[in-house]
Amino acid sequence: MAGRNFLFVPGPTNVPDRILRAMDRAMEDHRSSAFPALASGLLRDLKSVFKTTAGQPFIFPATGTGGWEAALVNTLSPGDRVLAPRYGQFSHLWIDLAQRHGLRVDIIDVDWGEGAPVERIEEILTADTQHEVKGVLIVHNETATGVTSDLAAVRRAMDAARHPALLYVDGVSSIGAIDFRMDEWKVDLAITGSQKGLMLPPGLGLVCASPRALAAGNQAKCPRVFFDFGDMSKANATGYFPYTPSLPLLHGLRESLAMLFEEGLDNVFARHRRLADGVRAAVRAWGLKLCARAPKWHSDTVSAILVPDGFNAADVIDVAFRRYNLALGAGLARVAGKLFRIGHLGDLNELMLLGAIAGTEMAMRDVGIKVTLGAGVAAAAEHYRGSAAPLPPRAVAAPSADAQPQPQPPGGKPGSLASRAAVRA
């Protein structure tokens, strides 16, 4: 199909040309004396993305799922009790992973479309006077439902309960796109992947551990080899890794961090909020609803859009892809067929999103959903126009001192009717 595929799943996201060029390089010796400059710089600068001064980042050749596993096995022992709300497919999968490692998971089932139940977490931790709960697992941005939970409120609940449990946070679809504050919110284990806000291909699982989390590793008995923090820490201290790292992705990460810092993290977050608000304006114009049940849970990185009763969202996704070369995210597990998702994170701008909204409108009309073509595009465009930053004054170059006056064509000033007539004559 001619033209570019419009990739609007919530991960993997579009990879900028700058990052592609940075990764397009010959292989190198990852044991050379020059390599630590790359590795040490990445580990240092990742702290700014996690917003921590005390935390220690780790880079694994893995994915966010590998980050989940690394966070758990380095800090817990089989039989340990953890508390985990389940409000989407990814919180469900993290719970499943914990159970497979022999952890006892107290599950708080929450309606899909809502976020972490802060009051319930506080109640359970307050009642746990023996401090049997060793950790609380929170998915910051539940990609399956387009719901962002209030991590600051979760931390306040834990503090109000005076509970020492570690706070584990899945930030796979939030870190690098939605405000995340590891130190301020006292997050102990923060996890993300390379393929979302960091604008890289899949292949890196990134974990940042607080000093409390690192200390917990001294008592943790879960088996670990590939994901061992101890082995990684020893190698990282000298600027190396305990096994062969993903060299192209490390160079891509170096460029990704440069791009984020050039734009400024606060500006990155504001851009994502503004672009997401435009998508939400389009959804309202279509007369449809988001899976997220209240504005306080609206995600700035993915919108999960419910289709009307009697329609299958999978049909919208299929038509969008086969007819318009537009990739939309599918509904997962219990919301399969009920919604489709527009990912709006990473390297994107207004016109890219307007194209995705237009393609979505056409696909919905093609399967019989009664939306007015152009309604969503117009609503989003008005939002983007109305919220755009003012243009800086246009610079006017001063005439050079040695500039020579240009001769006028016969018949008048350049560009006049008389001059154009003279030229035609």
Residue 102 CB burial class (10 angstroms; 0-12, 13-18, ≥19):
middle
- Element spanning 377, H or E: helix 375-387
Phi first, then psi: give them for residue 148, nearest 5 degrees. Answer: -110, 125
Confidence of residue 406 (pLDDT cuts 50, 70, 90): low
Confidence of residue 412 (pLDDT cuts 50, 70, 90): very low
pLDDT digits (tens, 9 = 90+) for 109-146: 999 999 999 999 999 999 999 999 999 999 999 999 99
Residue 271 · residue 166 · CB < 8 Å? no
* pLDDT value at residue 400: 59
Query: pLDDT at residue 421 above 50?
Result: no
pLDDT digits (tens, 9 = 90+) for 87-113: 999 999 999 999 999 999 999 999 999
Query: pLDDT at residue 414 above 60?
Result: no
pLDDT digits (tens, 9 = 90+) for 2-13: 899 999 999 999
Start-end of H helices in 134-199: 151-160
Answer yes or no: pTM beyond 0.85: yes
Query: pLDDT at residue 415 above 50?
Result: no
* pLDDT value at residue 423: 34
Q: Which of 160, 225, 184, 194 is nearest to 63 (CA)?
A: 194
pLDDT digits (tens, 9 = 90+) for 183-198: 999 999 999 999 999 9
Q: Which of these CATH numbers, 1.20.1740.10, 3.90.1150.10, 3.40.50.300, 2.60.450.10, describes 265-387?
A: 3.90.1150.10
Confidence of residue 258 (pLDDT cuts 50, 70, 90): very high
Listed in order, the ranges of the chain carrying CATH 3.90.1150.10 are: 265-387
- Which is higher by pLDDT, 308 or 1? 308
Q: Which of 355, 424, 386, 328 is nearest to 8 (CA)?
A: 328
Q: How distant is the alpha carbon of residue 89 from its chain centre?
A: 16
Residue 87 · residue 145 · CB < 8 Å? yes
Query: pLDDT at residue 424 above 60?
Result: no
* pLDDT value at residue 177: 98
In the structure encoding, which two tokens stand for residue 54, read together? 């005390």
- Which is higher by pLDDT, 180 or 391? 180
Confidence of residue 408 (pLDDT cuts 50, 70, 90): low
* pLDDT value at residue 425: 34
CA distance 345 to 197: 6
Residue 266 CB burial class (10 angstroms; 0-12, 13-18, ≥19):
exposed
* pLDDT value at residue 422: 37
CA distance 76 to 314: 40
CATH class held by domain 17-262: alpha beta
Kindly report the average pLDDT of the chain as a whole number: 94
Residue 65 · residue 101 · CB < 8 Å? no
pLDDT digits (tens, 9 = 90+) for 331-381: 999 999 999 999 999 999 999 999 999 999 999 999 999 999 999 999 999
CA distance 241 to 59: 9
Listed in order, the ranges of the chain carrying CATH 3.40.640.10 are: 17-262
* pLDDT value at residue 117: 98
* pLDDT value at residue 409: 46
Query: pLDDT at residue 411 above 90?
Result: no
413-421 average pLDDT score: 41
* pLDDT value at residue 413: 45
- Element spanning 423, H or E: helix 417-424
